[in-house]
Structure 1
Protein backbone atom coordinates (compact mmCIF):
# COMPACT_ATOMS: atom_id res chain seq x y z
CA UNK A 1 0.00 0.00 0.00
CA UNK A 2 1.14 3.53 -0.68
CA UNK A 3 2.36 5.55 2.27
CA UNK A 4 -0.20 8.12 3.32
CA UNK A 5 1.28 11.13 5.01
CA UNK A 6 -0.52 13.81 6.97
CA UNK A 7 -0.09 16.34 4.14
CA UNK A 8 -2.27 14.23 1.84
CA UNK A 9 -4.87 13.87 4.57
CA UNK A 10 -4.89 17.63 5.22
CA UNK A 11 -5.28 18.33 1.49
CA UNK A 12 -8.19 15.89 1.15
CA UNK A 13 -9.80 17.15 4.37
CA UNK A 14 -9.58 20.74 3.13
CA UNK A 15 -11.15 19.81 -0.22
CA UNK A 16 -14.12 18.10 1.44
CA UNK A 17 -17.25 19.88 2.59
CA UNK A 18 -20.36 19.00 4.55
CA UNK A 19 -22.13 18.47 1.22
CA UNK A 20 -21.31 15.15 -0.50
CA UNK A 21 -18.47 15.33 -3.03
CA UNK A 22 -17.71 12.88 -5.83
CA UNK A 23 -14.28 11.20 -5.71
CA UNK A 24 -13.55 12.22 -9.32
CA UNK A 25 -14.16 15.87 -8.43
CA UNK A 26 -11.79 15.54 -5.46
CA UNK A 27 -9.07 14.04 -7.64
CA UNK A 28 -9.49 16.87 -10.17
CA UNK A 29 -9.21 19.53 -7.44
CA UNK A 30 -6.17 18.11 -5.67
CA UNK A 31 -2.51 17.95 -6.73
CA UNK A 32 -2.38 14.34 -5.48
CA UNK A 33 -2.80 11.29 -7.68
CA UNK A 34 -5.95 9.17 -7.46
CA UNK A 35 -4.40 6.30 -5.48
CA UNK A 36 -3.03 8.59 -2.78
CA UNK A 37 -6.31 10.53 -2.60
CA UNK A 38 -8.18 7.25 -2.04
CA UNK A 39 -5.64 6.13 0.58
CA UNK A 40 -5.86 9.48 2.42
CA UNK A 41 -9.66 9.31 2.30
CA UNK A 42 -9.54 5.82 3.81
CA UNK A 43 -7.42 7.11 6.69
CA UNK A 44 -9.78 10.05 7.26
CA UNK A 45 -12.78 7.69 7.31
CA UNK A 46 -11.00 5.35 9.75
CA UNK A 47 -10.37 8.32 12.04
CA UNK A 48 -13.96 9.49 11.83
CA UNK A 49 -13.14 12.77 10.07
CA UNK A 50 -14.95 11.88 6.82
CA UNK A 51 -17.90 9.70 5.84
CA UNK A 52 -18.78 7.72 2.74
CA UNK A 53 -22.48 7.98 1.89
CA UNK A 54 -22.24 5.90 -1.31
CA UNK A 55 -19.49 4.35 -3.38
CA UNK A 56 -17.33 7.27 -4.51
CA UNK A 57 -19.32 9.93 -2.61
CA UNK A 58 -17.69 11.49 0.46
CA UNK A 59 -18.40 14.28 2.95
CA UNK A 60 -16.99 15.68 6.19
CA UNK A 61 -18.23 14.01 9.35
CA UNK A 62 -19.38 16.02 12.36
CA UNK A 63 -15.98 15.43 13.97
CA UNK A 64 -14.19 16.57 10.81
CA UNK A 65 -16.32 19.70 10.62
CA UNK A 66 -15.53 20.57 14.24
CA UNK A 67 -11.83 19.86 13.66
CA UNK A 68 -11.68 22.22 10.68
CA UNK A 69 -13.79 24.89 12.37
CA UNK A 70 -11.62 24.91 15.51
CA UNK A 71 -8.41 24.90 13.48
CA UNK A 72 -6.93 21.78 15.04
CA UNK A 73 -4.06 20.08 13.28
CA UNK A 74 -4.35 16.69 11.64
CA UNK A 75 -1.65 14.66 13.32
CA UNK A 76 -0.79 13.70 16.87
CA UNK A 77 -3.88 13.33 19.04
CA UNK A 78 -6.26 14.73 16.43
CA UNK A 79 -5.48 11.75 14.18
CA UNK A 80 -6.36 9.29 16.92
CA UNK A 81 -10.03 10.23 16.81
CA UNK A 82 -11.92 7.04 16.15
CA UNK A 83 -15.26 6.81 14.46
CA UNK A 84 -18.11 6.93 16.94
CA UNK A 85 -20.07 3.73 16.71
CA UNK A 86 -23.81 3.99 16.37
CA UNK A 87 -25.36 1.77 19.00
CA UNK A 88 -28.75 0.87 17.56
CA UNK A 89 -29.81 -0.92 20.73
CA UNK A 90 -28.36 1.27 23.47
CA UNK A 91 -30.48 2.63 26.31
CA UNK A 92 -30.17 6.19 25.01
CA UNK A 93 -31.12 5.13 21.48
CA UNK A 94 -34.20 3.26 22.74
CA UNK A 95 -35.11 6.25 24.94
CA UNK A 96 -34.68 8.63 21.98
CA UNK A 97 -37.01 6.50 19.83
CA UNK A 98 -39.60 6.42 22.61
CA UNK A 99 -39.39 10.22 23.03
CA UNK A 100 -39.90 10.76 19.30
CA UNK A 101 -43.02 8.60 19.36
CA UNK A 102 -44.52 9.88 22.61
CA UNK A 103 -44.70 13.64 22.10
CA UNK A 104 -45.17 14.45 25.81
CA UNK A 105 -43.84 12.08 28.42
CA UNK A 106 -42.41 11.56 31.90
CA UNK A 107 -39.14 9.89 32.84
CA UNK A 108 -41.16 6.86 33.99
CA UNK A 109 -42.95 6.63 30.61
CA UNK A 110 -39.66 6.54 28.72
CA UNK A 111 -38.09 4.18 31.27
CA UNK A 112 -41.01 1.78 30.84
CA UNK A 113 -40.54 1.80 27.06
CA UNK A 114 -36.73 1.77 26.90
CA UNK A 115 -35.43 -0.21 29.88
CA UNK A 116 -34.42 -3.81 29.55
CA UNK A 117 -32.07 -5.13 32.20
CA UNK A 118 -29.92 -2.02 32.76
CA UNK A 119 -28.93 -1.30 36.31
CA UNK A 120 -29.81 2.26 37.39
CA UNK A 121 -31.51 2.74 34.02
CA UNK A 122 -34.07 5.27 35.22
CA UNK A 123 -31.29 7.41 36.72
CA UNK A 124 -29.38 7.20 33.43
CA UNK A 125 -32.50 8.34 31.55
CA UNK A 126 -32.96 11.20 34.03
CA UNK A 127 -29.35 12.34 33.44
CA UNK A 128 -29.91 12.06 29.67
CA UNK A 129 -33.02 14.26 30.05
CA UNK A 130 -31.02 16.87 32.00
CA UNK A 131 -28.33 17.04 29.32
CA UNK A 132 -30.91 17.12 26.49
CA UNK A 133 -32.72 19.98 28.25
CA UNK A 134 -29.47 21.96 28.62
CA UNK A 135 -28.79 21.52 24.89
CA UNK A 136 -32.30 22.58 23.91
CA UNK A 137 -33.67 19.23 22.72
CA UNK A 138 -36.24 18.90 25.53
CA UNK A 139 -38.40 21.37 27.41
CA UNK A 140 -40.13 20.85 30.71
CA UNK A 141 -43.87 21.43 30.32
CA UNK A 142 -45.92 23.38 32.86
CA UNK A 143 -47.91 21.27 35.25
CA UNK A 144 -47.27 17.76 36.42
CA UNK A 145 -48.96 14.40 36.18
CA UNK A 146 -50.47 13.39 39.50
CA UNK A 147 -48.33 11.00 41.53
CA UNK A 148 -49.55 7.88 43.31
CA UNK A 149 -48.41 8.74 46.84
CA UNK A 150 -50.50 11.27 48.82
CA UNK A 151 -47.43 13.41 49.52
CA UNK A 152 -46.18 13.30 45.90
CA UNK A 153 -45.70 16.53 43.97
CA UNK A 154 -46.36 14.60 40.77
CA UNK A 155 -44.18 13.77 37.80
CA UNK A 156 -42.55 16.33 35.51
CA UNK A 157 -43.79 16.28 31.94
CA UNK A 158 -41.29 16.76 29.10
CA UNK A 159 -41.61 17.45 25.39
CA UNK A 160 -39.14 16.85 22.58
CA UNK A 161 -38.80 20.15 20.68
CA UNK A 162 -35.70 19.44 18.58
CA UNK A 163 -36.39 16.16 16.80
CA UNK A 164 -33.48 15.99 14.37
CA UNK A 165 -33.91 12.41 13.19
CA UNK A 166 -33.68 8.75 13.99
CA UNK A 167 -30.26 8.59 15.70
CA UNK A 168 -29.95 9.73 19.30
CA UNK A 169 -27.51 12.60 19.79
CA UNK A 170 -24.26 11.43 21.37
CA UNK A 171 -23.27 13.25 24.56
CA UNK A 172 -19.57 14.08 24.95
CA UNK A 173 -19.05 14.44 28.70
CA UNK A 174 -15.58 16.02 28.53
CA UNK A 175 -16.69 18.83 26.23
CA UNK A 176 -20.26 19.18 27.52
CA UNK A 177 -21.87 18.99 24.10
CA UNK A 178 -23.99 16.72 21.91
CA UNK A 179 -22.81 15.49 18.54
CA UNK A 180 -25.91 15.14 16.39
CA UNK A 181 -25.45 12.77 13.45
CA UNK A 182 -28.83 13.68 11.99
CA UNK A 183 -28.32 17.45 11.88
CA UNK A 184 -24.54 17.09 11.39
CA UNK A 185 -24.03 19.69 14.12
CA UNK A 186 -22.64 20.04 17.61
CA UNK A 187 -24.99 21.45 20.28
CA UNK A 188 -23.45 22.84 23.46
CA UNK A 189 -24.92 22.19 26.91
CA UNK A 190 -23.41 25.28 28.52
Structure 2
Protein backbone atom coordinates (compact mmCIF):
# COMPACT_ATOMS: atom_id res chain seq x y z
CA UNK A 1 0.00 0.00 0.00
CA UNK A 2 1.30 3.41 -0.97
CA UNK A 3 2.31 5.63 1.94
CA UNK A 4 0.02 8.61 2.42
CA UNK A 5 1.86 11.53 0.84
CA UNK A 6 0.05 14.00 3.11
CA UNK A 7 0.95 12.30 6.42
CA UNK A 8 3.93 14.59 7.01
CA UNK A 9 1.62 17.60 6.60
CA UNK A 10 -0.87 16.29 9.21
CA UNK A 11 1.91 15.98 11.75
CA UNK A 12 3.55 19.30 10.82
CA UNK A 13 0.26 21.22 10.99
CA UNK A 14 -0.80 19.62 14.27
CA UNK A 15 2.59 20.17 15.94
CA UNK A 16 2.75 23.84 14.90
CA UNK A 17 -0.94 24.78 15.19
CA UNK A 18 -1.30 27.56 17.80
CA UNK A 19 -3.50 26.70 20.79
CA UNK A 20 -6.71 28.63 21.61
CA UNK A 21 -6.60 30.50 18.29
CA UNK A 22 -9.08 30.20 15.43
CA UNK A 23 -7.28 30.47 12.07
CA UNK A 24 -8.56 30.63 8.50
CA UNK A 25 -7.42 28.26 5.76
CA UNK A 26 -5.45 30.87 3.80
CA UNK A 27 -3.65 32.04 6.97
CA UNK A 28 -2.71 28.44 7.79
CA UNK A 29 -1.49 27.83 4.23
CA UNK A 30 0.70 30.91 4.41
CA UNK A 31 1.96 30.05 7.92
CA UNK A 32 2.96 26.52 6.90
CA UNK A 33 4.16 27.42 3.40
CA UNK A 34 1.74 24.97 1.76
CA UNK A 35 -0.86 25.26 -0.98
CA UNK A 36 -4.45 25.81 0.15
CA UNK A 37 -5.67 22.44 -1.13
CA UNK A 38 -2.92 20.56 0.79
CA UNK A 39 -3.91 22.36 4.01
CA UNK A 40 -7.60 21.67 3.23
CA UNK A 41 -6.94 17.92 2.88
CA UNK A 42 -4.79 17.85 6.02
CA UNK A 43 -7.38 19.79 8.02
CA UNK A 44 -10.09 17.42 6.79
CA UNK A 45 -8.14 14.47 8.19
CA UNK A 46 -7.43 16.29 11.47
CA UNK A 47 -11.13 17.21 11.80
CA UNK A 48 -12.09 13.60 11.05
CA UNK A 49 -9.91 12.38 13.93
CA UNK A 50 -11.13 15.08 16.33
CA UNK A 51 -7.83 16.99 16.62
CA UNK A 52 -9.15 20.16 14.96
CA UNK A 53 -12.65 21.63 14.83
CA UNK A 54 -14.33 24.16 12.60
CA UNK A 55 -15.44 26.91 15.00
CA UNK A 56 -17.24 28.91 12.33
CA UNK A 57 -17.23 29.01 8.54
CA UNK A 58 -13.64 28.70 7.34
CA UNK A 59 -12.08 29.07 10.81
CA UNK A 60 -10.22 26.19 12.48
CA UNK A 61 -9.04 25.61 16.05
CA UNK A 62 -7.39 22.78 18.00
CA UNK A 63 -9.72 20.70 20.16
CA UNK A 64 -8.79 19.46 23.64
CA UNK A 65 -7.83 16.16 22.01
CA UNK A 66 -5.68 18.05 19.50
CA UNK A 67 -3.91 20.00 22.25
CA UNK A 68 -3.25 16.75 24.14
CA UNK A 69 -1.97 15.02 20.97
CA UNK A 70 0.24 18.01 20.20
CA UNK A 71 1.78 17.96 23.68
CA UNK A 72 2.24 14.18 23.84
CA UNK A 73 3.06 13.64 20.17
CA UNK A 74 0.29 11.01 19.87
CA UNK A 75 -0.33 11.16 16.13
CA UNK A 76 -0.70 7.43 15.46
CA UNK A 77 -4.35 7.75 14.45
CA UNK A 78 -3.56 10.27 11.74
CA UNK A 79 -0.55 8.64 10.16
CA UNK A 80 -1.39 4.93 10.48
CA UNK A 81 -2.25 3.05 7.29
CA UNK A 82 -5.36 1.56 8.87
CA UNK A 83 -7.07 4.93 9.13
CA UNK A 84 -5.95 6.46 5.85
CA UNK A 85 -8.34 6.42 2.94
CA UNK A 86 -7.17 6.49 -0.62
CA UNK A 87 -5.96 9.99 -1.46
CA UNK A 88 -7.83 11.39 -4.46
CA UNK A 89 -6.26 12.52 -7.70
CA UNK A 90 -5.18 16.14 -7.84
CA UNK A 91 -7.41 17.93 -10.34
CA UNK A 92 -9.74 20.92 -10.54
CA UNK A 93 -12.89 19.10 -9.42
CA UNK A 94 -11.07 17.41 -6.51
CA UNK A 95 -9.71 20.70 -5.22
CA UNK A 96 -13.11 22.33 -5.73
CA UNK A 97 -14.83 19.51 -3.79
CA UNK A 98 -12.30 19.70 -0.93
CA UNK A 99 -12.85 23.45 -0.58
CA UNK A 100 -16.65 23.10 -0.72
CA UNK A 101 -16.52 20.51 2.08
CA UNK A 102 -14.90 23.08 4.37
CA UNK A 103 -17.03 26.06 3.40
CA UNK A 104 -20.39 27.16 4.69
CA UNK A 105 -22.14 28.86 1.82
CA UNK A 106 -20.05 29.91 -1.16
CA UNK A 107 -20.08 31.29 -4.69
CA UNK A 108 -18.39 29.67 -7.67
CA UNK A 109 -15.93 32.58 -7.77
CA UNK A 110 -14.92 32.24 -4.09
CA UNK A 111 -14.06 28.56 -4.42
CA UNK A 112 -12.39 29.05 -7.82
CA UNK A 113 -10.06 31.64 -6.30
CA UNK A 114 -9.00 29.20 -3.56
CA UNK A 115 -8.62 26.25 -5.95
CA UNK A 116 -6.08 28.11 -8.11
CA UNK A 117 -5.93 25.48 -10.88
CA UNK A 118 -4.46 26.44 -14.28
CA UNK A 119 -7.31 25.86 -16.71
CA UNK A 120 -8.53 28.19 -19.41
CA UNK A 121 -11.98 29.12 -18.01
CA UNK A 122 -12.07 28.07 -14.35
CA UNK A 123 -15.35 29.82 -13.47
CA UNK A 124 -17.16 28.16 -16.38
CA UNK A 125 -15.79 24.77 -15.26
CA UNK A 126 -16.88 25.56 -11.69
CA UNK A 127 -20.43 26.50 -12.76
CA UNK A 128 -20.70 23.33 -14.88
CA UNK A 129 -19.51 21.17 -11.94
CA UNK A 130 -21.90 22.97 -9.56
CA UNK A 131 -24.81 22.48 -11.98
CA UNK A 132 -24.22 18.71 -12.03
CA UNK A 133 -23.95 18.59 -8.22
CA UNK A 134 -27.19 20.60 -7.86
CA UNK A 135 -28.96 18.24 -10.29
CA UNK A 136 -27.73 15.22 -8.30
CA UNK A 137 -28.78 16.74 -4.95
CA UNK A 138 -25.30 17.25 -3.47
CA UNK A 139 -25.59 21.02 -3.13
CA UNK A 140 -28.44 23.52 -3.04
CA UNK A 141 -28.72 27.04 -4.31
CA UNK A 142 -29.28 29.50 -1.50
CA UNK A 143 -32.52 31.53 -1.75
CA UNK A 144 -30.70 34.88 -1.72
CA UNK A 145 -27.94 35.90 -4.07
CA UNK A 146 -24.93 38.04 -3.22
CA UNK A 147 -25.43 41.76 -3.68
CA UNK A 148 -24.08 42.97 -6.98
CA UNK A 149 -20.97 45.13 -6.80
CA UNK A 150 -21.31 46.28 -10.41
CA UNK A 151 -24.81 47.73 -10.05
CA UNK A 152 -26.53 44.82 -11.80
CA UNK A 153 -29.86 43.52 -10.60
CA UNK A 154 -28.45 40.26 -9.28
CA UNK A 155 -25.12 39.18 -7.93
CA UNK A 156 -23.64 35.67 -8.09
CA UNK A 157 -25.53 32.62 -6.82
CA UNK A 158 -24.58 31.20 -3.43
CA UNK A 159 -24.52 27.47 -2.77
CA UNK A 160 -24.29 25.13 0.23
CA UNK A 161 -23.06 21.52 0.30
CA UNK A 162 -25.77 19.28 1.81
CA UNK A 163 -24.52 15.81 0.86
CA UNK A 164 -20.92 15.45 2.02
CA UNK A 165 -20.17 11.79 1.32
CA UNK A 166 -16.42 11.82 1.77
CA UNK A 167 -12.97 12.86 0.65
CA UNK A 168 -13.14 11.97 -3.05
CA UNK A 169 -14.93 14.28 -5.48
CA UNK A 170 -18.06 13.01 -7.23
CA UNK A 171 -17.83 13.38 -11.02
CA UNK A 172 -20.27 13.60 -13.90
CA UNK A 173 -20.55 10.65 -16.30
CA UNK A 174 -21.81 12.27 -19.46
CA UNK A 175 -22.77 9.11 -21.38
CA UNK A 176 -24.96 7.90 -18.52
CA UNK A 177 -26.16 11.34 -17.38
CA UNK A 178 -25.32 10.55 -13.75
CA UNK A 179 -22.96 11.78 -11.06
CA UNK A 180 -20.72 8.95 -9.88
CA UNK A 181 -19.74 9.13 -6.21
CA UNK A 182 -16.45 7.27 -5.58
CA UNK A 183 -17.03 7.49 -1.81
CA UNK A 184 -20.26 5.48 -1.88
CA UNK A 185 -19.53 3.80 -5.24
CA UNK A 186 -23.00 4.80 -6.46
CA UNK A 187 -24.32 6.53 -9.56
CA UNK A 188 -26.73 9.33 -8.67
CA UNK A 189 -29.19 10.36 -11.41
CA UNK A 190 -29.25 14.02 -12.36
CA UNK A 191 -32.70 15.60 -12.19
CA UNK A 192 -32.77 18.61 -14.51
CA UNK A 193 -33.79 21.77 -12.68
CA UNK A 194 -36.85 23.63 -13.96
Q: TM-score range by the shorter chain?
A: 0.5 to 0.7
| Residue 99 in structure 1 maps to residue 103 in structure 2 | no
The number of aligned residues is 106
- Distance in 2 separating the partners of 1:126 and 1:108: 9
**Residue 129 of structure 1: aligned partner:** 130
Cα offset for 1:181?
1.3
Which residue of structure 2 lines up, in the alignment, with residue 173 of structure 1?
Answer: 174
Q: Within 1, Cα distance between the matches of 2:182 and 2:117?
A: 25
1:120-176 per-residue CA deviation (whole Å, 9 max, x = no partner) reads 111011000001000000100111111210124111110000000000012101111
> 1:87 Cα deviation (Å)?
5.4
RMSD across aligned positions (CA): 1.7
Structure 1 residue runs of 4+, over 4 Å off? none
Q: Give the strand-richer structure, 1 or 2.
A: 1
* Aligned mates of 2:90, 2:143 — CA distance in 1: 32
Larger-gyration structure (1/2)? 1
SS in 2 for 1:186: strand
Identify the residue that residue 189 of structure 1 maps to in structure 2.
190
CA distance in 1 between partners of 2:100 and 2:148 (Å): 21
Relative to the length of structure 1, the TM-score reads: 0.53
Q: What secondary structure is seen at the aligned counterpart in 2 of 1:144? A: coil
**Residues in 2 aligned to 1:127 and 1:102: alpha-carbon distance in whole angstroms:** 19
Normalising by structure 2, report the TM-score: 0.52
Which stretches in structure 1 are left out of the alignment for 5+ residues?
1-53, 55-85
1:8-23 matches, within 5 Å, as none
